[in-house]
């Protein structure tokens, strides 16, 4: 793709492409248990989905030392890796996502992902669902500051050769919407994820889609 040509749709992953809350909550429970902590509130865990792991755990343990945050983060990575390697991890696609991606590509959109997942986690997730080759740019928390910092979106724009005015960020959390606003990119929320539509609009969403079909129409 030549610089400045085409359009770019960047998707969040967890809560937007796939429903990953069960695996995330299970790994967080295991991580807290490994550090002799009471299990975290599941609603609070879901609220952190989309942030980098370290920032999510700091939010769940706001008055505890950074050394404990690092310890729990390491336990989470171990638990999540084990669930992935044993086949226990389930991250089902939301209905209509493959059809949406194909429809956008057919209309000339380039596709990307900006996620709080690790590189390994994202590649595994997309590969399991046969979606890896749909995307021209993949940005993760391994290489960028946590959302809502705009670094992931800025890198996606540069890699795809698309200007901010020709791009859209699609996600289910206020972090996605705030990241889009910080990068000067149009923000569109989805109703099937982890944050309330009113919160998405308050964070900068220009619209909130109820279904992938409605999202296709909005774009």
Closest-CA residue to 9 (of 180, 130, 181)? 180
Q: Which of 12, 29, 172, 176 is catalytic?
A: 12
* Dist. CA 207–CA 188, nearest whole Å: 5
| Cβ count near 57 (within 10 Å) | 26
**Active-site residue flag, 14:** yes
**Bridge partners for 209 per DSSP:** 190
Peptide bond into 148 cis (omega under 30): yes
**Active-site residue flag, 172:** no
φ/ψ of residue 24, rounded to 5: -65, -45
Q: Which of 14, 29, 172, 176 is catalytic?
A: 14
Please spell the DSSP secondary structure of 70-93, one letter per residue: HHHHHHHHHHHHHHHHHT----PB
* Helices of type H across 19-150: 21-34, 42-48, 53-60, 66-86, 97-106, 119-128
Which positions are annotated as active-site residues?
12, 14
């Amino acid at each position: 793709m030549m610089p400045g040509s085409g359009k770019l749709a960047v998707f969040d992953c967890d809560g937007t492409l796939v429903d990953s809350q069960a695996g995330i909550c299970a790994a967080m429970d295991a991580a807290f248990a490994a550090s002799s902590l009471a299990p975290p509130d599941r609603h609070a865990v879901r609220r952190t989905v989309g942030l980098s792991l370290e920032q999510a755990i700091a939010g769940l343990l706001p008055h505890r030392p950074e050394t404990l945050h690092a310890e729990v983060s390491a336990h989470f990575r171990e638990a999540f890796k084990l669930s992935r390697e044993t086949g226990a991890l389930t991250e089902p696609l939301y209905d209509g996502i493959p059809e949406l991606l194909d429809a956008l590509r057919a209309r000339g959109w380039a596709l990307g992902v900006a996620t709080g997942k690790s590189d390994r986690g994202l590649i595994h997730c997309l590969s399991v669902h046969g979606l890896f080759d749909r995307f021209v740019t993949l940005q993760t928390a391994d290489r960028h500051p946590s959302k809502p910092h705009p670094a992931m979106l800025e890198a996606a724009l540069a890699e795809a050769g698309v200007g901010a005015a020709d791009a859209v960020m699609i996600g289910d959390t206020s972090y996605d919407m705030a990241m889009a606003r910080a990068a000067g990119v149009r923000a569109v929320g989805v109703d099937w994820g982890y944050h309330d539509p009113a919160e998405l609009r308050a964070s900068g969403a220009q619209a909130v889609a109820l279904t992938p079909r409605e999202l296709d129409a909005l774009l």
